[in-house]
Amino acid sequence: MKYIFSVLALVSIFLLSSCGTGKQLTQQKATADNYYSDGNYAEALTAYKAIIATYETNNNSEACPVYTKAGESALKTNDAKLAVEYLKKATYSTFGNEYSYFYLANAYEQVDNLSLEIGALNDYLDKYPQGKEINAIKMRSFFTAVESDNYDKALSLWPELIANNENNIQLIEAYFLVNRKADNTATCNNIANNLLDIDENNIVALTWFGKKYYRKAEDLYRKEMKAYEKHKTNKQYKILLKALDAVTVDFKKSLTYFKKLYALESTAENANYLSHIYGRLSDKKKEAYYKKLAK
């Protein structure tokens, strides 16, 4: 009989303790959520840590309901490593949701782990194709695809993205990079023109056209000079003169772009191009001037 009473007493104490702990956790969570709702993420994080400690001490991490908000709070207080820790646990808990993956991808971006960021982005895309953050996830997925040289994926995401971001220069420049790497010259020309329509001082587009006309002119110049040196005939000389007219036109086009580029970015590379162009156009004074600036 004494044994039965002892067991009943222990059960009663356990139940009372559990009720007390449950009530305390409820109060702690309400306090933490209030801090979170007010944007006081530092205080929220401190409160969430206490709740997490209780669940983890009791080996009950999967039932912890605050990992996602704790991870977001850590992220917004510039502790990306802690955010990764909490958000990973959130994805394994019964309370994981789209924001667990959304903020996990953000956290991996902040700690500069591209492969794990891509994994979190893909998890979101697979699990929450109609999620509230799907547009932001697709946008970031596009940039990570470009960064990781996964051009097929970038191109598959492109049509939907550009439909809602027609004047997003950063996005269009990334698309330009994809096509440049794929040697899609005609597409690059179109994209560069589009960039200049949006911003007449766009560095990417100006550089593309400056180098395009420079290479075209320089290649033709060298080709015809080599041909003339090999066959110094009147016929070959006439061919050379005609070619030089075309060369001059393209060097002048290239000059227009590089003059603008140099005004925007006074780099040694741009000065070097200007020096060579002026040399081909027989302007020795400007050739020497930009040659000094290129050193």
How does pLDDT run across 14-24, given as a tens digit for each residue?
A: 333 444 467 88
pLDDT tens-digit map of 231-280: 788 888 788 888 889 999 999 999 999 999 999 999 999 999 999 999 99
21-96 and 201-295, same CATH topology:
yes
Calpha distance 212→251 (Å, rounded): 10
- Asked whether the beta carbons of 223 and 284 are under 8 A apart, the reply is no
pLDDT tens-digit map of 80-117: 999 999 999 999 999 999 999 999 999 999 999 999 99
CATH architecture entry for 21-96? Alpha Horseshoe (1.25)
Give me the amino acid identity at 205: A
DSSP per residue, 195-248: HHHH-TT-HHHHHHHHHHHHHHHHHHHHHHHHHHHH---HHHHHHHHHHHHHHH
**In this structure, which CATH number among 1.10.4100, 1.10.530, 1.25.40, 3.40.50 belongs to the domain 201-295?**
1.25.40
With 90 as the cut, is the pLDDT of residue 7 above it? no
- Domain boundaries defined on the chain: 21-96, 113-192, 201-295
